[in-house]
A and B are shown apart, each in its own frame.
Chain A
């Protein structure tokens, strides 16, 4: 197990290096950071001075080594927009995003397992058809639209919840719900279909022949067997939300997390802040994958060490 973790960490490091190189290449080689960050009216001297200040006058190789060194110390430079270290901004906003995603996905996970199992117990039954239809509906609605719909119903018409911003726990409800909907639908469908498959496995017959109560069979035997595919999808939902959907939801609800900050950084041409956001999210994704791999290994003894 120890060598397995070391091996996964090593792979993770390689991925982070790859991400660093890509970020570096995209910003330094294919773009011009100076004209991106300075106003159009800046003079040639000002441009030169700025280029020197951020080290753009050095050879590319030296720039890259420096860049890596900065990354290693989480030094991404100063955010132009906020006039303070970019990483500070990221660490200030990241918890808000994690709170939003944690609440939304947590809700989706808590609900998808019982819903999927209820549907799987009587495939084709009334509850199953209801859950599947609701799931398809959930899958076919784009998130920004769901968000607006929820605002119209719960904030504007019923006046139950705030439309946007943050502050009270109530502010969290609508954005988290919006974020949860698609993952909830997808995860429920997965639990349903893999549970139906699993209940037809031969080992289930063996356990039933032991005379164990059905709830124990579900809890101890089949649930564990669908856990790998479930966690694979749940991990994927977490990653895609982190790297994308949260931008939409945070924008719709003016939730000042990392997603909204990313949009604002792009609008303001704040390259260093943008880099910090991309890098931290990439790091998180790599970490999530490592944790998932380790958990998979703990669940399934057949997964090979390499």
Chain B
């Protein structure tokens, strides 16, 4: 998109570890991302690949036993980490960067009215009075499509449905007019018709407010529909990033190729679905080299060395054999072996 302008958010070689009984879990490692003004970045990858941890690290939500152990997060060029960054981070989080979560049923304080919860960030970050915050909260509730917003202000979360609560979460998130919204599977807990409404709402707000969005999702259809760029995560690393069109057309990494093939067709022209055999590697004491190697049909000896992120057709791909057609070759090889 707007590669010329300075990025809003830069995540640079970020690493997060969790201390556990079994050892140090390297939840994410060498994660680098860039988000520009107004763009939508999709973050995809299978369960446990570190999507939520990456987002939470940006929001400063990693707490013991977890810790950020490497890399940097910068907002408009200034670091949010470390002693110096902490102060700055507190003024940025909730104001310039906001986040909504997967489970709207439990993400609101059950003992506080909807109006107070929406007004809270405005009172803290923008210095609004109670009355101002309340008036603005009412407008916001209208803007996210809740009926009778004035009445909602004094309701408690348990009086609202899941879809309504997610709208409240969104109203809360955009209350300070952030430039970036991180949405961690915002529709997973909702039923299908509501899912579509919430995604539409996000798309509309993005257009109206010029919001940049990081959308974490399992749904590649959604990514194709509303994202400009996409980052694919595997075992705590980003294995491929690039423009959505390029990657869907020409996936460079064997994992991305497999992921796309295992998704029910987006255009309705796909032949057969496949699944990637095997399971993701352990995040404790990971093997050096490419984490996908054990499941990769075209892995070679060179893959025992960690591959660098290489430019391939406009995407950045962490694979020694970026662009090779992994799965048909793999299938052919398997056939040759008589499987």
Which residues from chain A sit less than 8 Å from chain B, CB to CB? 122, 201-203, 205-213, 216, 220-221, 224-225, 299-302
Contacts and interface: CB of A to CB of B under 8 A. Distances in A.
B90 A211 contact: yes
B172 interface: yes
Interface residues of B, number: 31
15 contacts: A202-B101, A206-B107, A208-B60, A209-B93, A209-B99, A211-B90, A211-B94, A212-B94, A212-B120, A213-B90, A224-B111, A225-B111, A300-B110, A300-B111, A302-B156
B90 A203 contact: no
Given A206-B169, A302-B156, A302-B158, A211 B61 contact: no
Contacts of A203: 106-110
Given A206-B101, A210-B93, 7 more contacts: A206-B109, A209-B61, A210-B94, A211-B124, A224-B111, A225-B111, A300-B111
A302 B56 CA distance: 30
B72 to A, nearest CB: 19
Given A203-B108, A225-B109, A299-B111, A209 B156 contact: no
B243 interface: no
A202 B111 contact: no
B324 interface: no
Contact of B121 (A210, A213, A300, A301): A210
Contacts of A299: 111
B125 A205 contact: no
A269 B265 CA distance: 90
Residue among A206, A209, A299 facing the most chain B CB atoms (10 A cut-off): A209
A100 B284 CA distance: 57
A211 B156 contact: no
B52 to A, nearest CB: 10
A225 B110 contact: yes
B94 A209 contact: yes
Nearest to A216: B124
B98 A209 contact: yes
Contacts of A220: 112
Interface in B87-122: 89-95, 98-99, 101, 103, 106-112, 120-121
A220 B172 CA distance: 17
A202 B226 CA distance: 27
A224 B89 CA distance: 27
Contacts of B156: 301-302
Residue among B95, B98, B112 facing the most chain A CB atoms (10 A cut-off): B112
A208 B92 CA distance: 12
Contacts of A224: 111-112
B59 interface: yes
B136 to A, nearest CB: 15
A225 B108 CA distance: 12
Q: Which 10 A-B pairs have the closest CB atoms?
A: A211-B94, A211-B93, A210-B94, A202-B106, A210-B121, A209-B99, A203-B109, A301-B156, A206-B107, A202-B107
Nearest to B120: A210
Contact of A205 (B64, B94, B107, B124): B107
Contact of A210 (B89, B124, B158): B124
B334 to A, nearest CB: 44
B108 A211 contact: no
Contacts of A221: 109, 112
A196 B157 CA distance: 23
A201 B103 CA distance: 11
A300 B94 CA distance: 27
Nearest to B102: A202
